């Protein structure tokens, strides 16, 4: 075939199905036939025009699973037929200073899949070979897609501080990120506290691995965590700076608040809450492609799976709106074969 279908985002909240010309992969890149693509809240950067040039068409989507059907010149470690994934980072350059120091996540010349380069709301996708993730046998394309971004993000966040097995770890927000973070924290051997508004998610949070449940709408979550002995790590996934503010007081000595939920409002903290207890606040973006392979291997070994709603590729607009509504439980995945 000489063309493929893709959903292009242009302007603000405008997602259109188009036919694109099929091209050979550029040097150092591969082309893959997309099997599934997860829908992530970060897709708003493309669809809502939150990028440098919203008039330039872009294909959203950065939780891509597919099969390579062509490789560009210079690609030697991958071949047609390989089952691979592509996450938010589209591949490091190997040449900038962060890359030369082994910090691939902060590569200065790295495209962001679905935001600065075309992503997976399409039948075909392209990616740098350095950004590819090998998908192991035993994980379906539907389950693997959210693990490539939401899974990796929380898996790496939980490792931002050396934390012994059995220590209290808290997950704030039981949604697309949080429901995976609970499973990782449980499987890493921690005592796990879930923090969320209301009580409707308590039973599910405990099913996923929470030993404790804190309703932040009826109690101060920082005080509640402190009463439990303090958390060595708190992974904040909710998209609200105000909801994160009380959490610092719930850290154990030398504890760390790891922020992965991008919020429109600022996070504010009292300086004594940082100083006394030697607490810290850090952000965590994602991981490298090889760390994503570690993540998939760990997920397979510990039976960690996302809760997903599957929709056909042709309903990408409706699937995006479903994610945006906050009603999805908990990730939406486009299935090309549906």
Q: State yes or no: pLDDT of 276 exceeds 90.
A: yes
Q: What is the pLDDT of residue 173?
A: 97
User: What gap in Å lies between CA 244 and CA 247, rounded to an integer?
Assistant: 5
Q: State yes or no: pLDDT of 338 exceeds 90.
A: no
Runs of H (alpha helix) within the chain: 44-47, 97-100, 141-146, 152-157, 178-187, 202-208, 221-227, 241-244, 271-275, 289-301, 316-325
Within a 10 A sphere around the Cβ of 23, how many other Cβ atoms?
A: 12
| 3's tokens | 């063309």
State mean pLDDT over 49-60: 96
Q: What is the pLDDT of residue 217?
A: 95
Q: State yes or no: pLDDT of 19 exceeds 80.
A: yes
> CATH number of 161-283: 3.30.230.80, 3.30.950.10, 3.40.50.720, 3.40.50.2000?
3.40.50.720
Mean pLDDT of the chain: 97
State mean pLDDT over 39-44: 96
| Percent share of the chain, pLDDT over 70 | 100
Q: What secondary structure does DSSP assign to 28-92, as a single string? A: TEEEEEEEEEEE-GGGHHHHTT-SS-TTS-B----EEEEEEEEE-TT--S--TT-EEEE-SB---
pLDDT digits (tens, 9 = 90+) for 213-267: 999 999 999 999 999 999 999 999 998 999 999 999 999 999 999 999 999 899 9
Three-state secondary structure call for residue 280 = strand
Rama region for 223: left / alpha / beta (φ>0; ψ in -120 to 50; rest): alpha
State mean pLDDT over 33-54: 97
User: What gap in Å lies between CA 74 and CA 114, rounded to an integer?
Assistant: 24
Tell me the pairing of strands 63-71 and 83-86: antiparallel
- For 178, counting Cβ atoms within 10 Å of its Cβ (0-12 exposed, 13-18 middle, 19+ buried), the class is buried
pLDDT digits (tens, 9 = 90+) for 66-91: 999 999 999 999 999 999 999 999 99
Q: What is the pLDDT of residue 232?
A: 98
pLDDT digits (tens, 9 = 90+) for 108-133: 999 999 999 999 999 999 999 999 99
Cβ(258)–Cβ(194) below 8 Å: no
| Total residues found in the chain within this entry | 338
Domain residue ranges of the chain, discontinuous segments joined by +? 3-146+306-335, 161-283
User: What gap in Å lies between CA 20 and CA 16, rounded to an integer?
Assistant: 12
| Percent share of the chain, pLDDT over 90 | 98
Q: State yes or no: pLDDT of 1 exceeds 80.
A: no
Q: What is the pLDDT of residue 21?
A: 97
> Which CATH architecture best describes the domain 3-146+306-335?
Alpha-Beta Complex (3.90)
pLDDT digits (tens, 9 = 90+) for 150-205: 999 999 999 998 899 999 999 999 999 999 999 999 999 999 999 999 999 999 99
């Amino acid at each position: 075939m000489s063309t493929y279908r893709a959903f292009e985002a242009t302007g603000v909240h405008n997602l259109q199905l188009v036919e694109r010309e099929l091209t050979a992969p550029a040097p150092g890149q591969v082309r893959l036939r997309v099997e599934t693509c997860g829908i992530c809240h970060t897709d708003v950067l493309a669809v809502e025009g939150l990028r440098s040039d919203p008039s330039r068409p872009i294909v959203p989507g950065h939780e891509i699973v597919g099969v390579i059907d062509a490789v560009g010149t210079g690609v030697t470690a991958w071949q047609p037929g390989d089952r691979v994934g592509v996450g938010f980072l589209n591949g490091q350059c190997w040449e900038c200073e962060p890359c030369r120091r082994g910090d691939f996540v902060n590569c200065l010349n790295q495209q962001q899949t679905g935001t600065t380069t075309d992503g997976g709301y399409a039948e075909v996708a392209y990616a740098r070979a350095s950004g590819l993730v090998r998908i192991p046998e035993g994980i379906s394309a539907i389950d693997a897609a959210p693990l490539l971004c939401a899974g990796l993000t929380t898996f790496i966040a939980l490792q931002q501080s050396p934390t012994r097995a059995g220590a209290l770890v808290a997950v704030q927000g039981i949604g697309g990120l949080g429901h995976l973070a609970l499973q990782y924290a449980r499987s890493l051997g921690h005592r796990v506290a879930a923090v969320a508004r209301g009580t409707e998610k308590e039973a599910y949070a405990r099913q996923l691995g929470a030993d404790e449940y804190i309703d932040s709408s009826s109690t101060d979550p920082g005080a509640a965590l402190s009463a439990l002995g303090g958390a060595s790590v708190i992974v904040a996934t909710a998209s609200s700076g105000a909801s994160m503010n009380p959490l610092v007081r719930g850290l154990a000595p030398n504890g760390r608040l790891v922020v992965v939920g991008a919020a429109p409002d600022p996070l504010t903290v009292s300086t004594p809450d940082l100083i006394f207890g030697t607490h810290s606040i850090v952000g965590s973006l994602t991981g490298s492609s090889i760390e994503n392979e570690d993540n998939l291997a760990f997920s397979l070994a510990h039976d960690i799976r996302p809760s997903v709603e599957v929709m056909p590729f042709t309903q990408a607009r409706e699937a995006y709106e479903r994610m945006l509504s906050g009603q999805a439980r908990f990730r939406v995945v486009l299935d090309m074969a549906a």
